[in-house]
Amino acid sequence: MYVFESVSILINAFLFFVLLIKGNYLSEMIPLKIVNIILWGFLFLFGLNTIGNSFAETNFEKFFTLLTLAFAVLIWIVLKKSEKQIPNRR
């Protein structure tokens, strides 16, 4: 269980790091094209997780359908945001 939780924390930290680059809060250590590909991957994973949670047996797990759907929508908004709205982008 410790390994599972450690991997989960590392993945969330990586998503946070990628979002900081996309928002131009960190210098572009990863090219923007790769950042976008990574975010599309997370969008796909959150979408699959939303579908999986909606078929869960317990209400506790079904509650997470709303959470993962919200994350998917927020990542979608970040991806669709116009480059013109992000200042100082090279």
Residue 1: the pLDDT is: 83
What are the per-10-residue average pLDDT scores of the chain (90 residues)?
Answer: 92 95 91 94 96 93 93 95 58
CB 52 within 8 A of CB 25: no
CB 30 within 8 A of CB 56: no
Question: Structural domain of residue 81, as residue ranges?
Answer: 2-85
CB 89 within 8 A of CB 82: no
The count of domains in the chain is: 1
Q: Is residue 90 part of a domain?
A: no
* Side-chain half-sphere CA neighbours of 13 within 13 A: 6
Q: Is residue 15 part of a domain?
A: yes
Residue 10: the pLDDT is: 96
Q: Is residue 42 part of a domain?
A: yes
**Tokens 């210098």 sit on residue:** 27
Residues 6+ apart with CB under 8 A from 58: none
pTM: 0.83
